[in-house]
Amino acid sequence: MLYLMLLLAYLLGSIPSGLIIGKVFYNTDIREHGSGNLGGTNTFRTLGKKAGFVVTLLDILKGTAATILPYIFTVNTTNWPDWVALPLVCGLLAVVGHMYPVFAGFRGGKAVATSGGILLGYVPDLFLILLVCFLISLFTTRIVSLSSMIISVVAIIYVMFTNDLSLQILIICLAIFIFYRHRANIKRIINKTEPKVNLFNKKK
């Protein structure tokens, strides 16, 4: 049961929200447009605000759903290390699924929204803090990638003041994922060529 649950967590993360919304409602494969990414940002740019919000929400909920799996299923954790929180492991597997989805040729998103979903399910206070920080950064810089990396750093600082070793390890892993997945964005930010979002456009 334990291993089936871990597999389910990965499969939940592998659900390609952006691809499904794009093909079903817009007859568009967003992998063929913009950055080619399956995440919320490329959905916003390719399909508009409504689709972008829906995909971002679904990607968040994938992480949350995976995180609460251990609370739904009763599993045998006799040989599970005491310092490892099973909900966080399930959430992390959902993030891996989001980045490398089996249902979309292992070509997925950049892990930010699904990572947030883990926090929503495990430590909602931190989720809300990061959401506020993200929005402030986004309205200030208008750069989604930079805002995503900034909140990764904020999250690391936050958890260093907690006694939750499992959460600390998770946040460090997520931050590494996020910075790695944004390596091309980092180069563009340095070169001042990273696209900025138009927060007040009227595209639906």
Residue 81, phi then psi, degrees to nearest 5? -60, 135
Task: Name the residue ranges covered by the structural domains of the chain.
Answer: 2-190
What size, in residues, is the chain? 204
Mean pLDDT of 35-49: 87
Percent of the chain with pLDDT over 70: 94
Span 114-126, average pLDDT? 96
Compute and round to an integer the Cα radius of gyration of the chain. Answer: 17
Instruction: Please state, in angstroms and rounded to a whole number, the distance separating the CA atoms of residues 143 and 85.
Output: 33
68: confidence class by pLDDT, cuts 50, 70, 90? very high
- Taking the CA atoms of 61, 101, 76 and 79 in sequence, report the sign of the dihedral they define: negative
Structure tokens at 93: 């597997």
- What is the per-residue pLDDT for 1? 80
- Please write the tens of the pLDDT for every residue from 133-147: 999 999 999 999 999
Mean pLDDT of 123-139: 96
Q: What is the pLDDT of residue 168?
A: 96
Whether pLDDT at 203 is above 80: no
pLDDT band at 71 (very low <50, low <70, confident <90, very high): confident
